[in-house]
């Protein structure tokens, strides 16, 4: 570790992993409810488990982004973090606010939570992914601003690199577009239209800038390729991201009451959205092939390659599959959407955070560059188990989705939703089994931090033979 204050990243990463475990456990509950409809009913109804599942995902990814920023910005800026104390303080505020919100979901009925938190004063609750009580949302804004201030001051006072600049633009966009979560008009069409300014412009916009910059940082560090080359790639990738992704928002406006020309704008531009993801794949593999040195942390390089491939598959390929308006007319709001959502979030954002944790954690735990051999082997096992099971989760949901579309919307005699759901149950059983394998992968991931933690560091040659 080059700068002492990079250490503030550690609690952020630990919290991220902890919340990730919670997310997966609730994912398994949800998967079970798809198989046994009244599982845990009425104690934990589906909607509550789903809120916990999706909100934990968002919160732990944010913890991951913040931890990644605290780790990489001092190194890029070549100076200590502006205020480690503020970073620590924000960590606890965010963790406590997050935990209280999740407990609120679980312990009281949602309507009671809305009442207790004064939702009446500024109603923002009850919209997908933005279920947090208004006071939690305000807390998120405070934490985001303090975080941006801390990171921004560090960048301003130090060396300004493309990596840190792109990260900063991404984080700024994240904070700015979140403000649309406070706009909740009675008019449902307007509500939905601007809801996408948070959701789409986050995950298919500014979050990709954060993703790109973290990936660029890890590639600079692990491959030793000239920074100039990597930064040029980064600019081209994020340029394509925003050029395609901003108007690409239109693929959400087809059926919510917006004018029909959005079917053209949305189809054309979102059909181009896979391009930046494909470029990211080419970029990562190119840089690794042209590496000037072998990094002893093979696991981190594996996560980075995984990110590049899985983001393209999940966000790019599975996104394109149902983005053209004539196709989306049939697939909109089915298990096809769920399939895409799972692999895109895993491939792009889960994997980039795990890449960064894999790269940074050895240094945060006092090592030179890499965990021990045994630890890395376990970590790579966890990568493959989680990634392969996520591929199967996605395939089973896609199968379910195709059948659902046919039975309920496409055949000559469409059948009711619940009747169709019964007919595709087998796919939900298979998905749940794949989910259990994912959990096993996650358990191995956690174990990799403890197994071999007293062994000596992996060296380049030894790590090479371990992965062979």
Residues 69-108 that bind other proteins (CB under 8 A): none
By the 8 A CB rule, do 48 and 105 touch?
A: yes
Query: Quick check: helix, strand or coil at residue 235?
Result: helix
337 vs 467, which CB is nearer to other proteins? 337
Q: Distance (Å, rounded) from C-alpha 378 to C-alpha 368?
A: 19
Tokens read off for 399? 């199968």
14 vs 271, which CB is nearer to other proteins? 271
244 vs 373, which CB is nearer to other proteins? 244
Of 338-357, which residues contact other proteins (CB under 8 A)? 338
Tokens read off for 277? 């993801």
Residue 174: other Cβ atoms inside 10 A:
22
**Under rule CB under 8 A, residue 136 binds other proteins:** no
Name the residue among 380, 358, 363, 356 with its Cα closest to residue 467.
380
Rounded to a whole number of angstroms, the minimum distance from the CB of residue 291 to other proteins is: 17
Q: Which one of 261-269, 349-357, 364-372, 443-451 is the stretch in contact with other proteins (CB under 8 A)?
A: 261-269
Query: Quick check: helix, strand or coil at residue 457?
Result: strand
Which helix (H) or strand (E) element contains residue 178? helix 162-178
Of 110-129, which residues contact other proteins (CB under 8 A)? 110-111, 114-115, 119, 123, 125-128
Residue of 243, 395, 446, 451 interacting with other proteins (CB under 8 A) = 243
Of 269-328, which residues contact other proteins (CB under 8 A)? none
What does DSSP assign to residue 372? B
Q: Distance (Å, rounded) from C-alpha 247 to C-alpha 267?
A: 10
Neighbour-count burial for 444-468, b at 16+ CB within 10 Å, e otherwise: bbeebbebbeeeebbeeebbeebee
Q: Distance (Å, rounded) from C-alpha 393 to C-alpha 438?
A: 9
Q: Pattern 215-234, binding to other proteins, x per CB under 8 A?
A: -------------xx-xxx-
Phi/psi at 247 (5° precision): -70, -25
**Under rule CB under 8 A, residue 418 binds other proteins:** yes
Of 172-191, which residues contact other proteins (CB under 8 A)? 184, 186-190
Rounded to a whole number of angstroms, the minimum distance from the CB of residue 415 to other proteins is: 7
**Under rule CB under 8 A, residue 131 binds other proteins:** yes
- List strand residue ranges (DSSP E) for 109-196, in order: none
Rounded to a whole number of angstroms, the minimum distance from the CB of residue 251 to other proteins is: 12
Of 364-393, which residues contact other proteins (CB under 8 A)? none
179 vs 189, which CB is nearer to other proteins? 189
**Under rule CB under 8 A, residue 414 binds other proteins:** yes
In the chain the first and final C-alpha atoms are separated, in Å, by 28
**Under rule CB under 8 A, residue 200 binds other proteins:** no
Rounded to a whole number of angstroms, the minimum distance from the CB of residue 386 to other proteins is: 23
**Under rule CB under 8 A, residue 239 binds other proteins:** yes
**Under rule CB under 8 A, residue 421 binds other proteins:** yes
254 vs 345, which CB is nearer to other proteins? 254
Q: Which one of 72-80, 300-308, 374-382, 406-414 is the stretch in contact with other proteins (CB under 8 A)?
A: 406-414
Of 19-58, which residues contact other proteins (CB under 8 A)? 33-34, 36-38, 41-42, 45-48, 50-51
By the 8 A CB rule, do 466 and 373 touch?
A: yes
Strand partners, 457: 372
């Amino acid at each position: 570790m080059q700068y002492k204050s990079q250490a503030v990243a550690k609690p952020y990463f630990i919290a991220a992993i902890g919340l990730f475990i919670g997310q997966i456990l609730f994912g398994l509950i949800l998967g079970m409810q798809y198989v046994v409809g009244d599982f845990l009913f009425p104690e934990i109804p589906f909607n509550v488990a789903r809120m916990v599942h999706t909100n934990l995902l968002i919160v732990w990814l944010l913890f991951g982004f913040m931890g990644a920023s605290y780790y990489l910005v001092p190194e890029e800026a070549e100076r200590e973090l502006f205020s480690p104390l503020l970073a620590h303080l924000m960590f606890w505020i965010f963790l406590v606010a997050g935990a209280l919100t999740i407990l609120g979901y679980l312990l009281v009925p949602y309507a009671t939570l809305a009442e207790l938190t004064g939702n009446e004063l500024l109603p923002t609750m009850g919209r997908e992914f933005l279920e947090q009580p208004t006071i939690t949302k305000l807390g998120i804004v405070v934490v985001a601003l303090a975080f941006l201030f801390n990171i921004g001051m560090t960048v301003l006072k130090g060396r300004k690199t493309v990596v840190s600049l792109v990260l900063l633009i991404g984080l700024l966009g994240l904070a700015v577009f979140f403000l649309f979560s406070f706009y909740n008009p009675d008019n449902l069409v307007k509500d939905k239209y601007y809801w996408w300014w948070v959701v789409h412009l986050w995950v298919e916009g500014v979050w990709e800038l954060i993703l790109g910059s973290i990936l660029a940082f890890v590639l600079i560090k692990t491959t030793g390729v000239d920074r100039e080359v990597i930064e040029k790639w980064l600019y081209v990738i994020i340029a394509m991201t925003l050029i395609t992704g901003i108007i690409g928002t239109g693929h959400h406006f087809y059926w919510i009451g917006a004018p029909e020309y959005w079917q053209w704008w949305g189809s054309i531009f979102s059909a181009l959205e896979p391009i930046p993801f494909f470029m990211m794949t080419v970029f990562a593999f190119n840089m690794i092939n042209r590496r000037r040195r072998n990094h002893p942390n093979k696991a981190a390089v594996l996560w980075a390659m995984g990110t590049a491939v899985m983001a393209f598959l999940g966000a790019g390929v599975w996104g394109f599959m149902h983005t053209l308006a004539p196709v989306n007319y049939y697939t909109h709001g089915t298990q096809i959407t769920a399939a895409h959502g799972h692999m895109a979030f895993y491939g792009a954002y889960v994997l980039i955070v795990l890449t960064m944790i894999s790269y940074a954690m050895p240094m945060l735990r006092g090592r030179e560059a890499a965990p021990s051999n045994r630890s890395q082997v376990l970590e790579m096992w966890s990568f493959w188990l989680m990634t392969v099971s996520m591929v199967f989760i996605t395939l089973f949901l896609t199968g379910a989705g195709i059948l659902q579309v046919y039975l309920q919307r496409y055949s000559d005699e469409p059948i009711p939703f619940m009747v169709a759901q019964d007919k595709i149950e087998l796919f939900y059983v298979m998905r749940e089994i794949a989910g259990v394998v994912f959990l096993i992968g996650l358990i191995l991931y956690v174990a990799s931090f403890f197994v071999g933690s007293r062994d000596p560091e992996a060296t380049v040659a030894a790590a090479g033979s371990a992965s062979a």
